[in-house]
Amino acid sequence: MSSELEVPTTEYRLPTTLPTTDYGLRTTDYGDEPPDSPTLAEAARRWSSAYVHIPFCARRCPYCDFAVVASDEAGGLDTGRYVDGLIVEIGMEPDPSAVDAINFGGGTPTRLRPDDLARIVGAIESRIGIADGAEISIEANPEDWTIAFARDLREVGFNRVSFGVQSFDPVVLAALGRVHSSRDAERAFDAARRAGFTNVSIDLIYGTPEESDESWRRTVARAIALEPAHLSAYALTVEGGTALSRAVLDGAPGPDPDDQADRYEYLDDALRSAGFVRYEVSNWARPGYSCRYNLSTWMMGEFSAFGTGAHDHRGGVRARNIRRLDTYLDRIESGVRPRAGSECLGEFESERERFMVGLRLASGVAPGSIGGPFVTSDEGHRLLDAAVIDVRDGRVVVLKPLLTDLVARSVLSVSADDC
Ligand code: SF4
């Protein structure tokens, strides 16, 4: 089939190849680009990043299905052995190239001591390399965070922290099984700032059944009052196999999608009024503070990942690690990469994934070979006519972010023969 687009108006005419301009951006020199800038997004395609998974948590939150072990579960306190394993795994990286961003996620990375975190950063530096000005970010739970800890992390080289605040309402925090208070969150935020972190992010969860409109408004107001550089917000979801899903199956109320949509729109309006820019469905930033690691992964940049259950993407191969802590450690200690599986993405699958994930960005996504057939398909026309998507400056943009998953699913109707 021809790649030439047959579109009804020039308004929807798309380039069929990706831009090849060298935007000349490095991670250190894009500070003036707005978070939703297409230029910034395309630069992120060329960034390389690393993810380090720290699976330890004080206890398991009822809604969580991540690869974690709680302190009262087998291996839940074996942090030193795990750090040793991570360092061995980093040493096994077959194709090292200096990273522009590192993200420590979990689990709860702040369960590790600063000297253990320093050993891991040091291993990445010596095996892979860290670009000048790279973002080195850590996810933190407020209850672990003190000013001394924050200063130690600055010494290690961390320059971004993302606090799992979730809510400022004690009723909601209790329902989510969180052990910190709203005051803990404010104290942690203040300690981060006093230790020299300017790039501080807050994570919120909306739509817990125990949350009211008024409770959400207060949470949003308190989050904005802290003046974070960045904010992420996710709807509470009921994942199979969690304590929350068992409770809902037993008759407890679950999240209400209409309430969640209202909360999302309230948050988006409030953040825009406060000077934030939404640059992805669930992420807002002040200019200069979009998360480089996230941008890099959404733009299908190359990323390595280490630790239990971690996923990486390098050279067209997507791979995932073993989730179980004991099996992961056994494998590493036998000198074997702890892979659970990998898949080599073909050209069409890779391009389709790039396009589907890119739809999450407010900057839109360059059409490549998929965008044209999608926009000109019957489903594409329906979405255009309903003002769910648009084509702006040659990029496909989702105008109604809450419908992004629906739009992405529609892309699956495009086959390789259409491109
Ligand atoms: S702290 Fe985070 S990673 Fe750990 S159990 Fe709770 S939600 Fe999951």
Is the CB of 64 within 6 Å of ligand 1? yes
Calculate how far, in angstroms, residue 107's C-alpha sits from the geometric centre of ligand 1: 5
Calculate how far, in angstroms, residue 312's C-alpha sits from the geometric centre of ligand 1: 21
Give the model's confidence band at 415: pLDDT under 50 very low, under 70 low, under 90 confident, else very high.
confident
Mean pLDDT of the chain: 90
Calculate how far, in angstroms, residue 83's C-alpha sits from the geometric centre of ligand 1: 19
pLDDT of residue 232 exceeding 90, the answer is yes
- Cβ atoms within 10 Å, residue 348: 16
Q: Domain boundaries in the chain?
A: 10-18+366-418, 38-298
Q: How far apart are CA 27 and CA 360, in angstroms?
A: 21
Contact 338, 91 (CB under 8 A): no
Cβ contacts of 384 within 8 Å, gap of 6 or more: 12, 375, 390, 391
Q: How far is CA 213 from CA 50, 219, 386, in A?
A: 38, 10, 29
pLDDT of residue 229 exceeding 90, the answer is yes
Length of the chain: 419
pLDDT of residue 14 exceeding 60, the answer is no
Calculate how far, in angstroms, residue 173's C-alpha sits from the geometric centre of ligand 1: 13
Calculate how far, in angstroms, residue 162's C-alpha sits from the geometric centre of ligand 1: 14
pTM of the model: 0.91
Calculate how far, in angstroms, residue 88's C-alpha sits from the geometric centre of ligand 1: 25
Q: Which atom of ligand 1 is nearest to the CA of 60?
A: 5
Per residue in 315-340, pLDDT tens?
Answer: 889 999 999 999 999 999 999 999 99
Q: For atom 2 of ligand 1, which residue has the closest CA?
A: 107
Query: Residue 13: what pLDDT?
Result: 44
Query: Residue 291: what pLDDT?
Result: 94
Contact 88, 332 (CB under 8 A): yes
Q: Among 68, 172, 178, which residue has the most ligand 1 atoms within 8 Å of its CB, making it the best to mutate?
A: 68
Q: For atom 6 of ligand 1, which residue has the closest CA?
A: 61
Query: Residue 7: what pLDDT?
Result: 35
Query: Residue 30: what pLDDT?
Result: 65
Q: Among 66, 208, 325, which residue has the most ligand 1 atoms within 8 Å of its CB, making it the best to mutate?
A: 66
Which DSSP symbol is given to 55?
A: -
Q: How far apart are CA 76 and CA 59, in angstroms?
A: 9
Is the CB of 106 within 6 Å of ligand 1? yes
Q: How far apart are CA 319 and CA 340, in angstroms?
A: 8
Give the model's confidence band at 29: pLDDT under 50 very low, under 70 low, under 90 confident, else very high.
low
Per residue in 144-199, pLDDT tens?
Answer: 899 999 999 999 999 999 999 999 999 999 999 999 999 999 999 999 999 999 99
Query: Residue 23: what pLDDT?
Result: 33
Is the CB of 57 within 6 Å of ligand 1? yes
pLDDT of residue 1 exceeding 50, the answer is no
Pick the CATH number of 38-298 from 3.40.50.1360, 3.40.50.620, 3.30.70.330, 3.80.30.20: 3.80.30.20
Is the CB of 207 within 6 Å of ligand 1? no
Calculate how far, in angstroms, residue 108's C-alpha sits from the geometric centre of ligand 1: 7
Contact 322, 305 (CB under 8 A): no
The CA dihedral of 278, 55, 160, 130, to the nearest 10 degrees, is: -110
The tokens for 391 are 């084509």
Calculate how far, in angstroms, residue 70's C-alpha sits from the geometric centre of ligand 1: 9
Per residue in 340-382, pLDDT tens?
Answer: 999 998 899 999 999 999 999 999 999 999 999 999 999 999 9
Is the CB of 108 within 6 Å of ligand 1? yes
